[in-house]
Structure 1
Amino acid sequence: MILDKLENAHIYFSLNDKFKKAFKFLMDNDIEKLDDGRYEIDSDEVFAFVQSYTTKSEHENKWESHEKYIDIQYIEKGEETIGWTPVNQLVIDEEYLKDKDIVFYNATSQRTKLNLNDKYFGIFFPKDAHKPGCIFNKPTKIKKVVIKVKM
């Protein structure tokens, strides 16, 4: 798991040869003006979901992880808490859904809370369970991009 500001994205280009394309999408687009939905960056290798929603109580969101894709979760505007814990600390609630590349887990008290606001991103690898969309200080409407980077 990595947490940083978009201005430092270049530091992570060497971790995965597709990260440069992913971060270029964030830097070259006016995210606030993009409609919600899926955006192709490099076929099924790198693609983005632009999302707008109001954060919820952490009890309303689920723990998740992915097997085929790395998540880059970027907050364009607003603030959100994303829970993080290693997947080996969790018990599976819903088995792996291959078509959506997602596993859901039961709740845990063993977690770290990551507070993200404008221009921050988190990178979550397959062994990083995460719980996005949670309230930071108060329920907040956010504009966010989740970029999927194939392993």
Structure 2
Amino acid sequence: MIVDKLENASLYVNMNKEMERAFEFLKNTDIQKLSDGKYEIDSDNVYASVQSYETKDKSEKKFESHEKYIDIQYIVKGKEFIEWSPIQNLSVEEAYSDEKDVIFYKDGKLSSKINLEDNYFCIFFPNDGHKPGCTFDKPMNIKKVVLKIKIS
């Protein structure tokens, strides 16, 4: 798991061959003008999901992880926290869905709170359980982009 500001994205582009495309999309697209939905960047290798929602109490959210994709979760506008835990510390609540590339988990014993606001991102790898969309200090409307990068 990595947390940083978009201005430092160049530090991470060599981690995966598609990472650079994902960060270019964030830097070169006027995301404020995009409607919610899926935007292909490189077929199913890299795509963006623009989302708008109201944060919820962490008790209403579930930990998740993905096997086929790395997530970059970027806050365009607003504040939320994402709870993080290594999947080894979590127990499966809903088995892996190949179609949706997601496993859901019950809360575990060990987790960390990641506070995010405008222009911050988190990178989550397959071993990173994450519970996004949690209320930071009060329920808030969020605009966010989740970039999916296929693991090669």
What TM-score range do you get, normalising by the shorter chain? over 0.9
Whole-angstrom distance in 2 between the partners of 1:119 and 1:106: 29
2:89 and 2:109 in contact (8 A); partners too: no
Alignment of 1:42-57 (within 5 A): 42-57=42-57
2:58 and 2:134 in contact (8 A); partners too: yes
2:5 and 2:119 in contact (8 A); partners too: yes
Q: Structure 1 counterpart of 2:89, which letter?
A: Q
Unaligned runs of 5+ in 1: none
Q: Corresponding residue for 1:18?
A: 18
Q: Structure 2 counterpart of 1:118, which letter?
A: D
TM-score where L is the length of structure 2: 0.98
Deviation at 1:65, TM superposition (A): 0.1
Q: Residues 138 and 109 from structure 1, CA distance in 2 versus in 1: closer, same or farther, beyond 3 angstroms?
A: farther
Moved over 3 A (4+): none
TM-score where L is the length of structure 1: 0.99
Whole-angstrom distance in 2 between the partners of 1:24 and 1:13: 10
Deviation at 1:32, TM superposition (A): 1.1
Whole-angstrom distance in 2 between the partners of 1:106 and 1:115: 21
Q: Deviations over 1:102-127 (max 9, x none)?
A: 00001224110000000000000000
Alignment of 1:13-92 (within 5 A): 13-92=13-92
**CA root-mean-square deviation:** 0.6
Whole-angstrom distance in 1 between the partners of 2:107 and 2:90: 8
Unaligned runs of 5+ in 2: none
Aligned residues: 151
Q: Using the aligned pairs only, state the percent identity.
A: 58
2:130 matches 1:135 = no
Whole-angstrom distance in 2 between the partners of 1:85 and 1:136: 18
Deviation at 1:3, TM superposition (A): 0.1
